[in-house]
Amino acid sequence: MKKEDLRIVFMGTPEFAVGTLSRLVDDGYNIVAVVTQPDKPVGRHQDHLQPSEVKQYALAHDIPVLQPVKMKDPAFVQQLASYKADLQVVVAFRMLPEVVWSMPRFGTFNVHAALLPQYRGAAPINWAIINGETETGVTTFFLDQQIDTGRIILQKHFPIPDDADVEYVYDGLMALGADIAEETINLVLENDGNVKAIDQSTLTDGNEVELHPAPKIFKETCTINWNQPAKRVHDFVRGLSPYPGAWTTLQANDTDKSSVLKIFKTTLLNEPTGTAQTGTIKAGKSQLCIATADSWLQIDELQLSGKKRMKAADFLNGNRNIETFHV
C-alpha cells in the first residue's frame, strides 16, 4: 500500500500536535479527517469561542474537522466510522474509549512526549524537568484500555541540558514527535499493519524500576517550596517556565503586605546561606538572590503580580527596598 492510499484520522488539540499533523500533510500522507476538542470559551465574559490550534490548521488545509463533546456519542462514532480510517494517529489529545481506538483495521497509536513507561500522564515534559532528568524523548505506542500503557512501537531519545526550560524541550520534542510519527506510519505501511510492539510490562516486571508519574499541573502544583536544596528549586522553576510559571508569595517583613511573584529563570550559585533563613532575600545593584535549604539561588527573570515579565536587574531598579521582604 502506498502512503497516499492509507486513510488516516488524526486526533490532537494543541500546538504540539500541529507539529506532527503539518509534517504528515507536507509529506503527502492521506489525512482524511481531524478530531479535536470543542472550541473553548475565552475572554472576560467567556463570550468568544477559540478554536484549537489543530482545528485552525485543519481548516486552513481543507481537512474535515470533528469536535465531539463525548467520545462515546453514537452520532460521533458513526460519523468517525464513515471516514473508513485504516489508522488513527493521536498526539496530545484525550483518553479514547475502545469503540474509537479499536475502529481502524491497523489500530490507533499515540505519540507521547516521554520515554514510556516513565512519565505517564498529562504533563510529561514538565515533570521530567522538575525531577532533574538529563534525558527524555518520545514514544509511539498502540492504545489500550489504560492511559499510556499500550505496547511500545518506537522510541527516540532527547537530551535535556542543565539550563533547559519547558519551551526548549517542548520545541525539541515537537519536532522529534513528528519524526517518530512518520517512522511509525511507514512501519505500518511496510508491514501491512503487522508491526512488532513491546509490552510495557516486560520493561518493569522483575526490575526494580521507579516509575515517575506526570499528572496534570494545577496552580497549587506551581508553588515554590524554598525549604529544598537550590538544585531542586532551580529544576522546579525551569520545569514550569515559561508556562504556567512557578510562583511564590512576596511578603513584607514587618507588615501583612504581600503579592504573588512568578519566577521564570534562575542560576545555581553554590554559595552557602550561612545563618540566613530559607526565603530570605539578598540584593545587590543588579543581583537578586533567595535563600534555599542549602545555598543562595540567583533569580534572573521574574514577574510581579500585575506587571510584565522582566530581568532581575530591571526589577531591582524599581524595588530598591526588596530586602525588606521575604518569600
Query: Each residue of 187-198: pLDDT tens digit?
Result: 999 999 999 999
Query: Each residue of 232-281: pLDDT tens digit?
Result: 999 999 999 999 999 999 999 988 889 999 999 999 999 999 999 999 99
Q: Is the separation of the CB atoms in 54 and 21 below 8 Å?
A: yes
User: What is the value of pTM for the model shown?
Assistant: 0.95
CB atoms within 10 A of CB 157: 10
Query: Each residue of 48-79: pLDDT tens digit?
Result: 889 999 999 999 999 999 999 999 999 999 99
* Residues 6 or more apart in contact with residue 67 via CB below 8 angstroms: 35, 36, 37, 38, 39, 55
Query: Each residue of 172-222: pLDDT tens digit?
Result: 999 999 999 999 999 999 999 999 999 998 887 767 788 999 999 999 999
**Residue located via cell numbers 479514547:** 96
* Alpha-carbon distance values, 159 to 129, 130, 137, 219 (Å): 11, 15, 8, 28
Q: Give 42 or 237, the one with higher predicted confidence.
A: 237
Cell numbers that stand for 307 in this block:
506587571
Over residues 126-138, the mean pLDDT reads 98
Q: Is the separation of the CB atoms in 124 and 92 below 8 Å?
A: no
